[in-house]
Amino acid sequence: MAHSHHHHDAIHVPAAAIRLLGLLLLVSLAAVAVVRWSGVEIREPDAPSVDVRRLHFRDMAGGAIEVRDADSGQRVDTIVGEAGFLRGALRVLSHDRARRQIGEAEPFELHRRQDGRLTLLDPKTGMRLDIESFGPQHAASFVRLMRTPTP
């Protein structure tokens, strides 16, 4: 046991290496943060849109939301009650428009992608919500809006 009195067998890492490691960590964290804040999605690019619906959402008396096809003027759906998520999503987009003094006249676009994902897009502000990232039960209320209305 010649080494027992010798406590410096621990691997010695130069201070410069530790600083470098810390710096690398900071740089990679900063890179992730910048990407997050810039709104660039860190995920696979969007599959091409196979279906786009231009939709108007209007608040009705009693808290329901009326959804109309912007092109045909037909009512697609009236959303009552359960649509807390849909309401929240629309509030986000409407709030963004209000902040930029853009009126509600311009329809939102609901894109169905080749891979089945849905994106709610505001063509006026470029703001987008990837519906599927909020979970399947929330996506369901939007999937309904892609269906062609029965007159």
Q: What is the mean pLDDT of residues 28-56?
A: 72
Per DSSP, 83 falls in state T
Going by pLDDT thresholds of 50, 70 and 90, the confidence category of residue 109 is: very high
124 found inside a domain:
yes
Is 131 within 8 Å of 117 (Cβ atoms)?
yes
Q: Does residue 71 form part of some domain?
A: yes
Q: Name 108's bridge partners.
A: 55
Contact 134, 100 (CB under 8 A): no
CB-side neighbour CA atoms (13 Å) of 39: 5
Supply the range of the domain harboring residue 127: 49-146
CB atoms near residue 143 (< 10 Å): 15
Q: Tokens standing for 15?
A: 């201070």
In a domain, 89, yes or no: yes
Mean per-residue pLDDT of the chain = 78
Write down the pLDDT at residue 82: 59
Kindly state whether residue 11 falls inside one of the protein's structural domains: no
Quote the number of domains for the chain. 1
